[in-house]
Amino acid sequence: MENYRQTFSEINLDHLLHNWSHVTQLAGTDRFVCPMVKANAYGHGAFEVASCLEKEGAKYFGVCLIEEGLALRESGFKSELLVYGGFDKQGAEKILEYQMTPVISTWEQLKFIESQADSPVKVHIKFETGMNRLGFDRSEAEKVSEYFKKSKNLKLKAVLTHLACSDDAAADSGMSVSQLNVLAEIKSFFKPFDIFAHALNSGGILSLSEAPESSILKKERWGFRPGLMLYGYQPAGMKSAGLKPVMTFKSVVQIQRSVPAGATVSYGATWKAKRDSQIGVIPAGYADGIKRQLSNSGEVTIGGVSAPIIGIVCMDFFMVDLTEVILKTGKENWQNEEVLLFGEKSSGGFVSADEWANQTNSISWEILTSVSSRVPRHYLGNAFSIIKD
Ligand SMILES: Cc1ncc(COP(=O)(O)O)c(C=O)c1O
């Protein structure tokens, strides 16, 4: 579809590859590594991201929904796709029809897949170890193992769990260590099988460089399921790993207008000019992923200078005060000039999506995945020329 918008996000696939190489260095050889491309690859474009990583040797890819897997298959993506989010009977049919790998969390799901599998099907089994979300209870490990010894068509490839506090994984007394101990115990029931055990999301992976050699985190070669770190971010408070943000979200000053002291801006008239002001109208709103909580509190960057968001963020627009930008740069007219919402600055360096996360009591995962489907993605980087062909 043609687009006429000047609000868009640039996706730098070379930065994705930089972050991926960090993952593969930490992984070493023979470790299960499954980049997570669910939620449209955290807003970056599942097909482009998955194709790029596939060219770089990734073998497994994680989606949450069957629909996400189907969209990838329909775009021609052939590599192994793991469906993490669960499924019912009809979903099981689709998973098998489109040759995806089910991540199974209940006996019911196991039976749906078994009853429909007429040739060997790879499966991964999820166990609950502390997150209290998805997975078999740990007490069922032996029974599940016995089931697979007898199953005709189901081929067990891995057991897995999900860490609730992955950024504590380097600490001996943390919750992650206790979850990994449980997973190690669960795995011991599956000795006859040659399987992976995967558990590490970005926080867990990034903890590896901090953990002592004696830690359970290092003693087992836990499989990786990196999400956030691929896209250049890491859990708040962790030591910087030099990752590069992949997404730059940009817009433009569509209209510059003068407002006299005392005039108000946007719905509810919550912002009132204390002085004669220059304001900019930016064509991006909460329907694009500009959180409404940024109203009267967030900032964007214009001409290298921070410009405060003024008034309530609307569905399609928000407004900024340009007065400081004009004072600091000496440039009067900002109409049609670029507005950096977050990402790479043209002068070098980054404005982190974490800033909006902090200003909205949110997290970078949510800020990235909130950039909506009506925001066009422009792909950049040498890596893009490789996947285009
Ligand atoms: C099952 C599972 N594994 C891995 C991940 C990736 O986590 P992160 O983005 O923190 O790396 C997620 C994300 O929510 C997940 O649900």
pLDDT tens-digit map of 283-335? 999 999 999 999 999 999 999 999 999 999 999 999 999 999 999 999 999 99
Q: Is 42 assigned a catalytic role? A: no
Helix (H, G, I), strand (E, B) or coil at 102: strand
The tokens 């089931």 sit on which residue? 147
More confident residue, 380 or 387: 380
Residues in the ligand 1 pocket, defined by CB under 6 Å: 36, 84, 162, 201-203, 225-229, 365
**388 lies in some domain:** no
End residue of a domain, out of 206, 231, 256: 231
- The helix (H) or strand (E) run that includes residue 53 is helix 46-55
Most ligand 1 atoms within 8 A of CB, residue of 33, 225, 230, 366 to mutate: 225
Catalytic residue among 55, 239, 267, 272: 267
Judge whether 246 and 11 are in contact, CB under 8 Å.
Answer: yes
- Three-state DSSP at 138 gives helix
The count of structural domains within the chain is 2
Q: Is 267 a catalytic residue?
A: yes
Same domain, 49 and 189: yes
* Same domain, yes or no: 281 and 338: yes
pLDDT at 383: 79
Least Cα distance to 59 among 79, 40, 78 occurs for 79
Does residue 12 belong to any structural domain of this protein?
no
Quote the pLDDT of residue 352.
96
Residue 216 in this model has a pLDDT that exceeds 70: yes
Residue 100 has pLDDT above 80, yes or no: yes
Residues pairing with 312 in the sheet: none
Print the domain residue range for 376: 247-380
Q: Ligand 1, closest atom to CA 365?
A: 9
User: What CA–CA distance (Å, rounded) separates 18 from 115?
Assistant: 43
| 8 A C-beta contact, residue 334 and residue 351 | no
Report pTM: 0.95
Q: What would the pLDDT profile of 58-94 be if each residue is shown by its tens digit?
A: 999 999 999 999 999 999 999 999 999 999 999 999 9
Ligand 1 centroid from CA 63, angstroms: 10
- Sorting pLDDT into bands at 50, 70 and 90, what band is 387? confident
